[in-house]
Amino acid sequence: MTPPAALHVVLGELASPRALLDAVTTLRGEHVRQLDTHTPYPVNGLDEALGLSRSTVAWWAFAGGCACALAGAALQLPGTSVVAVALLSAALTGVVALGVMLSGRQHPAFAHPLFVLSASSSGFWVSVSTRIAEDAERAKTRLEALGATNVTIVVEHEAPHT
């Protein structure tokens, strides 16, 4: 059995949120799909530039809250506290929302192992992932042409299974 090809991650730092948005938009226009960004704070328009769909968490939380409210209304017996039912409904809505968020395949990470504290708390980074070394070199050249600095290729080899 042949081992899987090593993962090549090309990282480049952009000077501003606008430069990051422009670079991501350009790369997506060139059909680069394995893109990710790493920013110190949310950047408006970045989800659309990356081609990410809207989250369904709010709708699931709303549905869970409605179900809890209906269950609470059904449980209203004489002497039952309305406040207790409302608090239970709110708590269960939070549990539903948390469950949906954790069950999602792609949720935001607060830190990436490639970054040290200084890089993760400042700077606007874009990364391109590929398993083809030549594509990684092309991505590095393209990021430099788009104005990225500190462009580097990190090669991650699959750990051998023992």
Query: How many Cα atoms occupy the beta-carbon half-sphere of 54 within 13 Å?
Result: 4
| Assigned token pair, 82 | 């309305």
Number of domains in the chain: 2
* DSSP three-state, residue 55: coil
Sequence-ordered alpha helix ranges (H) in 2-150: 17-29, 46-50, 57-74, 82-103, 117-121, 133-145
Q: What is the pLDDT of residues 5-23, one digit of tens each?
A: 888 889 999 999 999 999 9
For residue 44, give the CATH number of its domain: 3.30.70.2190
Q: What is the pLDDT of residues 98-141, one digit of tens each?
A: 777 777 655 555 555 565 544 456 789 898 988 888 999 999 99
64 and 98 housed in the same domain: yes
Query: Residue 121's closest CA among 38, 41, 40, 11?
Result: 40
Range of the domain at 125: 7-52+110-156
